[in-house]
Amino acid sequence: MYYCAYCQDKFCYAGELEKVTENCPCKEKALIEEVKTLYSDCENHLLAHNSALVESEGYCQKTRLEEIILFANKCQYKKLGVAFCVGLSKEAKIFCQILKNHGFDVVSVICKNAAIPKEFIGISENEKVRPNTKEAICNPIMQAKLLNKAQTDLNILLGLCVGHDSLFIKYSEAPITVFAVKDRVLAHNPLGAIYLSDSYYRKKLAK
């Protein structure tokens, strides 16, 4: 098995392949060759090449928003799909307008589209966020299907919940990038929990 997260040396990063240990992915010679051939696939090459260029051009200078615009332009994507959460409607409106101002054709779909009641997926009254009210499911499969229908070149996730994003990713035909992820407690900055894991959040996260 692989445990890169616990590796102190990061020989891969330095390109010192002669020093790597037995469990290192760098030892997987056959798989490495197989994966390298995948980068010659036209779309994979486009994504890999342009994301590397965005990384170097934007390094510590461009925000993620600017990097998304740069990446989409480099890939010559014209039609962008935005799958957003109802809780981030204001942000979605501004985000879509900025993309439009940069010349993109923008299609946006909210999570609550189709208004399918939560009962449909077996959620009981006491399992709702607000029991005894009408609650629609988040509908990421439909978000993906609608963006597929619109034939978007790139889909961008804005604040989808944990798991809803998994379903969107499962059904999207276009490549996906993420502008922001949902974290209702930490102002959509989930890494806050990691940065505080040895201080304020230690007790909360202890196993």
Q: Kindly list the residues in this chain that would bind ligand SF4 in the complex (CB under 6 A).
A: 4, 7, 9-12, 20, 24-26
Which CB atom, from 3 or from 120, has the smaller least distance to ligand SF4?
3
Instruction: Quote the least distance from Cβ 33 to ligand SF4, whole Å.
Output: 16
Instruction: Quote the least distance from Cβ 207 to ligand SF4, whole Å.
Output: 24
Please report how many Cα atoms fall inside a 13 Å half-sphere around the Cα of residue 4, on the Cβ side: 8
Instruction: Quote the least distance from Cβ 13 to ligand SF4, whole Å.
Output: 6
Which CB atom, from 11 or from 171, has the smaller least distance to ligand SF4?
11
Which CB atom, from 12 or from 70, has the smaller least distance to ligand SF4?
12
DSSP track, 9-49: S-HHHHT-GGG--TT-GGG-HHHHHHHHHHTTSHHHHHHHH
Which CB atom, from 7 or from 196, has the smaller least distance to ligand SF4?
7
Instruction: Quote the least distance from Cβ 26 to ligand SF4, whole Å.
Output: 5
Q: Could you write out the three-class secondary structure of 43-104?
A: HHHHHHHHHHHHHHHHCCCCCHHHHHHHHHHHCCCCEEEEEECHHHHHHHHHHHHHHHHCCC
